[in-house]
Structure 1
Amino acid sequence: MLGAIGLDEAQEAAYRTLITVGAAEVADLAHRLSAGEGETERALRRLERQGLAAQSTSGTARWVAAPPGVALGALLTQQRHELEQAELAAALLAEEYRAEASEPAVHDLVEVVTGASAVTHRFAQLQLGATEEVCALVTGRPVAVTGLDNVAEERAAARGVLYRVVLEREVLMLPRGVVELTAALSRDEQVRVVDRVPTKLVVADRSLAMVPLTGRDAEPAALVVHASGLLESLMGLFEAVWREARPVRLGEPGTGVAFVEEGEGPDEMDLKILSLLLAGLTDASVAKQLELGLRTVQRKVKGLMEVAGVSTRLQLGWHAYERGWVAR
């Protein structure tokens, strides 16, 4: 937890133990930490340089911890000052960049990133730099980063960045597909599923996008697109796929179902029509039984097929059974 102010695990463990015991000799502290005396003394010396520990005035062999409120407060203040200076430098550099490129050339609107390491790094940067929303289309063929390896996604979501993700159904067939989906849903990400997405895509804050340039067997490469008409087209592509995709949510605890696909689903009249069709009635007979127009029945059947994502009535019947519509 204290890594943000420059402490490694050994230093933090030593400092916490000193706070607990009040004072300790190197040998005693090493025993408590299950570490070597040399390693423990090096950790204490580093804590001493940071003002977090000191040798006791009653004996040079004993070490005591500095009060956390004072010592850690000083480190936090220094860290904040350094961050403020870094933010100021970033703002100045951004201003200089805008001044030099108020009308960017076409080649400044895109950049090509090649190599797995470079693609992975740029992919992480794009997410870590997002402040509001990340939109992504995900295929079943990861190139450089898998879902569980995407630490940047976890960090961005943890600080409040909204994620909207459309998964290709093939992703759920992968060995870790359901695990990745469950992890995303547990982070309150909005996830939808379609049979196929047109391309891999990630867009951060509607201002920066990344799409692949190479096929599966070639060296990984990606195109990073800055704010432009091309970026607007990519965002439009995402929104179109998002509208057609089905939302998913976590399954109910104890059911053994990891996730549930959601849809508009049939209303009561739809279910009556469906039940009569499954009983073997024709469209005309259904219309007569329910006092509806023939075209109304046909339109509702077509709507049910669209909701189910099927192209034949036989498929609709199977889908109705699988979804539990028949039981309703």
Structure 2
Amino acid sequence: MLAAIGLDDTHEAAYRALVSAGAAEVGELARRLTLAEPDTERALRRLERQGLAAQSPARPGRWVAAPPGVALGALLTQQRHELEKAELAAAMLAQEYRAAAAEPEVHDLVEVVTGASAVAQRFLQLQLGAAQEVCALVTARPLVVSGMENEAEEQAAVRGVRYRVVVERAALDLPHAVTELTAALGRDERVRVVDRVPTKLVVADRSLAMVPLTSTTAEPAALVVHASGLLELLAGLFESVWREALPLRLGAFGVAEEEPDGPDGTDLEVLSLLLAGLTDASVAKQLDLGLRTVQRRVRRLMELAGVTTRLQLGWHACERGWVTRS
């Protein structure tokens, strides 16, 4: 747990043992750690250099731990400072890199990534760098990354990043596809299916997109598109496919397509109260529903309407006659 501040497992175990024991001789600590005494003494010397341990002046031959709140706090502050310097250096290097490009105005908009490992790495970076939402079109012909089998999705979900994914129907027949989709739906990812998607595509926070490049060579390549009219075009392509796709749900017999139907009575009550200006929490209290239930029904209404914002939902609700105009 303390690897982030420079302690490996041995040094962390030695420090924890000292904190627990209060004070200990090298031999006693070696028995606790099941280490040789020379290895234990080297670990203690390392902790001493980091300000985490010291030899007791009152009890010669015994070692004591520095107070965690002070010692670890200092190391954390130092680590934060190092990260700030690294971020500044990265920003300066990025600026220098752009300035040295032959055509900086073009490079700022589009870059070509060549090679299987480079494409896979950039795909990973795209997801790990997302802060709000990742949208993806998944074909049945994965070349470098499958689009569904990716640990980055789990890490992004922990950070609260939303996923919207449209899967080509033929991709459901790929090995492990159902298992991966089940895991994705379990992370509250919104997944839809369509007969065919036009291309494999990933859009992160509507600020970066990645599409494969078809090539006559065997080497995979991809195009990374930065904020531009082309990026807006790719984001619009995703939204058009998303609107036409059918939601996938976890049912009693696994993953299944859900034919869209109309909202039920409770859905309409929720919608009416939201349009009246109530918050999700107030709607839940008014209708004696759980907050998550209200939010789930709102997401379902947005899917039925084929929209991505609540403002759009209100307009579509009036157009479709779900609510009356006053």
State the TM-score, normalizing by the size of structure 1: 0.67
Correspondence for 2:156: 156
Counting aligned pairs with the same residue, the percent is 74
CA contact (8 A) 1:209 1:226 kept: yes
| Cα distance, 1:235–1:68 mapped onto 2, change above 3 Å | same
Correspondence for 1:22: 22
Letter in 1 for 2:140: G
Deviates more, 1:153-162 or 1:129-138: 153-162
Q: Which has the larger radius of gyration?
A: 1
* Cα shift at 1:164: 1.4
CA distance in 2, matches of 1:80, 1:228: 34
| Cα distance, 1:107–1:75 mapped onto 2, change above 3 Å | closer
Correspondence for 1:259: 255
Match of 1:206, SS state, is coil
| Cα distance, 1:187–1:27 mapped onto 2, change above 3 Å | farther
* Cα shift at 1:131: 2.0
Correspondence for 2:65: 65
Confirm or deny that 1:236 pairs with 2:232: no
Match of 2:196, SS state, is coil
CA distance in 2, matches of 1:31, 1:147: 49
CA distance in 1, matches of 2:175, 2:36: 41
| Cα distance, 1:87–1:51 mapped onto 2, change above 3 Å | same
* Cα shift at 1:115: 1.5
| Cα distance, 1:14–1:170 mapped onto 2, change above 3 Å | farther
TM-superposition CA deviations, 1:25-65 (whole Å, max 9, x none) = 455545544556565554444333322233444243x4433
CA contact (8 A) 2:246 2:260 kept: no
Match of 1:122, SS state, is helix
CA distance in 1, matches of 2:146, 2:112: 21
* Cα shift at 1:113: 1.1
| Cα distance, 1:97–1:243 mapped onto 2, change above 3 Å | same
CA contact (8 A) 2:24 2:64 kept: yes
Letter in 2 for 1:165: V
Matches for 1:281-300 after TM superposition, within 5 Å = none
Correspondence for 1:187: 187
TM-superposition CA deviations, 1:238-258 (whole Å, max 9, x none) = 11111112222444xxx4x34
Match of 2:155, SS state, is helix
Letter in 1 for 2:257: E
CA contact (8 A) 1:147 1:180 kept: no
* Cα shift at 1:157: 2.5
* Cα shift at 1:77: 1.1
Q: CA RMSD in A?
A: 3.4
Correspondence for 1:78: 78
Correspondence for 2:220: 220
CA contact (8 A) 2:98 2:108 kept: no
Aligned residues: 263
* Cα shift at 1:111: 1.4
CA contact (8 A) 2:138 2:147 kept: no
| Cα distance, 1:31–1:178 mapped onto 2, change above 3 Å | farther
Q: Which runs of 5+ in 1 are unaligned?
A: 269-306, 308-328
State the TM-score, normalizing by the size of structure 2: 0.67
Letter in 2 for 1:176: H
| Cα distance, 1:184–1:96 mapped onto 2, change above 3 Å | same
Correspondence for 1:196: 196
Letter in 1 for 2:224: V
* Cα shift at 1:151: 3.2
Correspondence for 1:209: 209
CA distance in 2, matches of 1:112, 1:262: 38
Correspondence for 2:166: 166
TM-superposition CA deviations, 1:213-245 (whole Å, max 9, x none) = 247992222111122222222111111111112
CA contact (8 A) 2:148 2:181 kept: no
